[in-house]
Structure 1
Amino acid sequence: MSSQTEGKNLLIPEDSRLTREHGHAFKNIFSIILANAEMIGETLGATGPEQRRLERILEACRRGEDLVRHIRNPEDTPADSKQHRSAWGPALATTPGRILVVDDEKDIVEIISRYLLKEGFVVQGVTDSRIASENVRANPFAFDLLLTDFDMPFVSGATLCRTMHEVRPDLPVLMVTGYDRHISTEQLSDLGVAELLMKPLDRQALLAAVRRLLTP
Structure 2
Amino acid sequence: MERINAFAEKEFIALYENNKRAISRLHEARKNVYERLTNASVQPISVPWVLPDSIDFSIPDNSMKFAQHLYCSEDGTFETSLNPWENGVVTEELNNGAVCWLRNLDRKKWSLEIPYEVSGVTTSMFPDLVIVRSDAQGYVFDILEPHDPSRKDNYPKAVGLAKFAEKHWDIFGRIQLIRLKKGVDGREHFYRLDMGKTTIRNKVRGITSNEELDRIFDADAVRED
TM over 0.5: same fold? no
Between Structure 1 and Structure 2, the one with more helix by share is 1
Structure with more contact order per residue of length (Cα contacts < 8 Å, sep ≥ 6): 1
Query: What TM-score comes out, normalization by structure 2 length?
Result: 0.27
